[in-house]
A and B are shown apart, each in its own frame.
Chain A
Amino acid sequence: MILPLNFLEEAKNLCRVGQSQEIRRRTTVSRAYYAAYHHALAEATRHGYSFNPSARKSRHEHLLVYLASSGKPDWVAAADILRNLKSIRTTDDYHLGEAVSAPLVKQTIEDVEYVIEDLLPAPDDLEEAT
């Protein structure tokens, strides 16, 4: 089964191959965002989260509201970063006239790593850290 970290690895691979092509920059951001989204979804689910289809929100927004309302500062910070990454990904995939720069791509990957490693560490990561 594919894991959230596989999305991040693919984003980093794309970044390493080179960022001179715009399509590669856009794809990198998209893969990186989904790494953070799926990781956050897995962590939230582990803590009892489930999507409510009658909430009149997308699955992504529903998760963000859950994290933002958790009362846990690191989860709130993760929600802020994810929301920003989501808007960058939307630009990348839907607004083709707006530029996606190499520095922005680099920061996107950094932010995804913060979400996965610092803000929403999986239990294995916590054990390694202690």
Chain B
Amino acid sequence: MTAPTPQILSATLWNRLLDLHDEDKGELDRITWQLRKLVKDKPADFDARVALALAFLLGGNRVEGIEHINAARGLWLSSNGKSIYDFMWLLLDVGELNVAKDFLERFLSQKNNSQDNNIRNIAYAYGIRSGDLDWINQGIRETGIDDQVAKSFVEELQRKELLSAFQAHQDLIESIVNSFSCTFNYAINLDEFGQPVVLVRYHTTLSGKERLYLYRRIADLKVDQDVVNVSSFISLGILGPQIQDP
């Protein structure tokens, strides 16, 4: 039996990461150990760096996650395939919004993105996290994927003249959450009355009372800056690391 090539091994470990449940900390630690070894043997392997960064971030280790994102950044040109999408997601996960936008724009200028769900989702994620909702429309335009719920979310905020309040709201959230953010996810849904709502969840390095402290700081700023009028359009979750011991 021959050992798998580094490319196959990093792809296998990546897939195992994506299959983890939130309580699979032990398995996460085992995968992290294997990825560390792989990166040590092949420090210029973009895919392995991206996978190791994700492994650290899933476990709430932002410092080492960012270290490997930064290493992967210099290897960008040697990459191909799906891990480029994964890399852009990692940038969004840790709140490197300007860098993510730069990569997204470069990527959009080089590739036909028709019907590309990955690009649409990344454009949405950037738009929501940064508060720049033009990116939701751009995600739809670039990919040609019709999305009535996302469109109605932007249109409703526009109709109620809340686009700039949404931007201010998200700027405020970033000013508090950004430096703790490990992974980020979102969904745009309709509530029971058909109002579009965006659900955003930040998985952070924090636990217990520290999360409450962040909610309180955000609330202080919301009241100070008078952006509570967009609250009913956003469900904000500040959680601990995505994968923890049960």
Q: A86-130 toward B: CB 8 Å interface, digit per residue (1/0)?
A: 111000000000010111100100110010001100000000000
A70-93 contacts to B (CB < 8 Å): 71-77, 79-81, 83-84, 86-88
Partner of A103, one of B208, B222, B240: B240
Q: Is B141 an interface residue (CB 8 A)?
A: no
Interface size of A as a range = 35 or more
B244 at the A interface (CB under 8 A): yes
Q: With contacts A58-B192, A80-B219, A107-B239 known, is A102 near B23, CB below 8 A?
A: yes
| Closest B residue to A56 using CB positions | B193
Per-residue contact bits, chain B 210-240, to A (CB 8 Å; 1 contact, 0 not): 0110011011101100001101101111111
Name the residue on A nearest B245 (C-beta).
Answer: A103
A27 within 8 A of B: no
Most buried by B among A64, A76, A110, A119: A76
Give the total of B residues in contact with A, Cβ under 8 Å: 33
The answer for the CA separation of A103 and B21 in the assembled complex, in Å, is 10
Main secondary structure of the interface of A (DSSP, over half): helix
Point out the residues of chain A lying under 8 angstroms from B102, CB to CB: none
A61 B236 Cβ-Cβ under 8 A = no
Q: Write the nearest CB–CB distance from B218 to chain A, whole angstroms.
A: 7
Chain A residues, CB < 8 A from B243: 103
Q: Is the CB of B223 within 8 A of A19?
A: no
B161 CB, nearest partner CB in chain A, Å:
17
The reply to whether A77 and B218 form a contact with Cβ atoms under 8 Å apart is yes
Chain A residues with Cβ below 8 Å from B21 are 99, 101
Q: Which of B21, B192, B231, B236 has the most CB of A within 10 A?
A: B231
Whether A65 is near chain B, meaning CB under 8 Å from some CB there, is yes
B22 CB contact (under 8 Å) in A86, A99, A118: A99
